[in-house]
């Protein structure tokens, strides 16, 4: 007599149930942004233990303000790195758009609405970025070469044809935009500490960027292009559209960051933002994005921005001269690079 066992009510184990939980090392290899997050947490704990003033609201708000412009730049750079390119012209785009818009408002239209001023810099930045993308696709040369050239081109146009004079007296609507308060209180020493309203632009841009990469076809096309452009083209992704869009997106964020920089500092300096490209690219790389493209997350980018911001604002609190900032950031980049290479080998 043959015995048949009824298996209808027996649960079938899933692959997740059969596979063991990943180790910490394996988790870090899968999610490289956790490396930067761990470094950030350890750094904050160390600085707070040495100098508790690091945890004061005034210090945290100062770092929040400092992260806005760098964060907007970094979100754009992340998009280009994900597509397998690199851009070093975004500070020049920001400088050209913010100074041109400010000069136009002062001399031509002093009562221009603030929303229109912001929109003009975003649209202008997107146009200059789209020019970068069009040249990268048309000339078929590495984006680094193109953006090094346009960096000098945009900055040369600014200095030669638009102006080199610092604009110290901004229109009242731009000053009001920079001073608008989201959170304000009095510190222990009687100083007024303010978290500006424009701080909300950074998380809003991060949400938009996250949605683009995770919920839209364009996001998948960018990652596919960064992973393997030839395969992406065979899959039907138009490389011209991808290149123009991703550089226009970066240019738009650069224009937005530029006008925020002007309003926050209440002056327009055509020489501002020079040299910030290395720091921004470092933040994105520390967040887990690879220069070769096809990888990265918005969360990792934000983590990298916060890490750079904390380093730039906390070394003085623990007695380290500010001249060592680049040394510390460079050390973090080398550590992250060594980890990512090891991860890729495994």
The token pair at 204 is: 């809003």
Sign of the alpha-carbon dihedral angle for 260, 264, 270, 273? negative
The pLDDT assigned to 197 comes to: 95
Residue % of the chain over a pLDDT of 70: 89
Backbone dihedral region for residue 296 (phi beyond 0: left; psi -120 to 50: alpha; all else: beta): left
Sign of the alpha-carbon dihedral angle for 208, 74, 302, 216? positive
Per-residue pLDDT tens over the stretch 309-322: 998 888 877 777 77
Radius of gyration of the chain from Cα atoms?
23
The token pair at 302 is: 């934000």
Beta bridge partners of 194: 184
Rounded Cα distance, 71 and 36, in Å: 15
Per-residue pLDDT tens over the stretch 99-136: 999 999 999 999 999 999 999 999 999 999 999 999 99
Q: How confident is the model at residue 304 (pLDDT cuts 50, 70, 90)?
A: very high
Residue 199, pLDDT > 60, answer yes
Q: State if pTM tops 0.75.
A: yes
- Nearest C-alpha neighbor of 37 from the set 28, 24, 46: 28
């Amino acid at each position: 007599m043959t015995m048949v066992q009824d298996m209808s009510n027996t649960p079938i184990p899933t692959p997740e149930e059969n596979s063991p939980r990943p180790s910490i090392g394996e988790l870090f290899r899968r999610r490289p942004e956790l490396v930067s997050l761990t470094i950030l947490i350890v750094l904050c704990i160390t600085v707070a233990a040495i100098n508790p003033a690091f945890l004061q609201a005034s210090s945290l708000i100062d770092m929040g303000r400092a992260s806005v412009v760098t964060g907007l730049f970094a979100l754009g750079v992340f998009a280009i790195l994900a597509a397998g390119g690199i851009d070093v012209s975004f500070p020049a785009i920001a400088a050209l758009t913010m100074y041109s818009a400010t000069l136009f408002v002062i001399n031509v239209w002093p009562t221009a609405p603030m929303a229109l001023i912001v929109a003009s810099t975003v649209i202008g930045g997107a146009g200059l970025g789209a020019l970068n993308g069009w040249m990268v696709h048309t000339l078929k040369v590495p984006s680094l070469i193109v953006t090094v050239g346009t960096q000098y081109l945009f900055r040369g146009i600014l200095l030669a044809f638009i102006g080199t004079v610092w604009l110290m007296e901004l229109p009242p609507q731009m000053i009001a935009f920079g001073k608008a308060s989201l959170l304000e209180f009095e510190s222990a020493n009687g100083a007024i500490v303010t978290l500006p309203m424009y701080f909300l632009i950074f998380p809003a841009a991060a949400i938009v960027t996250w949605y683009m990469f995770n919920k839209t076809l364009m996001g998948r096309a960018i990652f596919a292009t960064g992973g393997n452009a030839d395969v992406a083209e065979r899959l039907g992704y138009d490389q011209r559209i991808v290149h123009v869009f991703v550089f226009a997106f970066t240019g738009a964020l650069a224009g937005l960051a530029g006008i925020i920089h002007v309003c926050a500092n209440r002056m327009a300096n055509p020489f501002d933002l020079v040299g910030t490209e290395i720091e921004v690219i470092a933040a994105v790389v520390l967040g887990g994005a690879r220069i070769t493209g096809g990888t990265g997350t918005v969360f990792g980018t934000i983590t990298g921005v916060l890490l750079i911001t904390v380093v730039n604002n906390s070394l003085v609190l623990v007695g380290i001269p500010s001249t060592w900032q680049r040394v510390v950031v460079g050390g973090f980049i080398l550590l992250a690079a060594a980890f990512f290479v090891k991860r890729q080998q495994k």
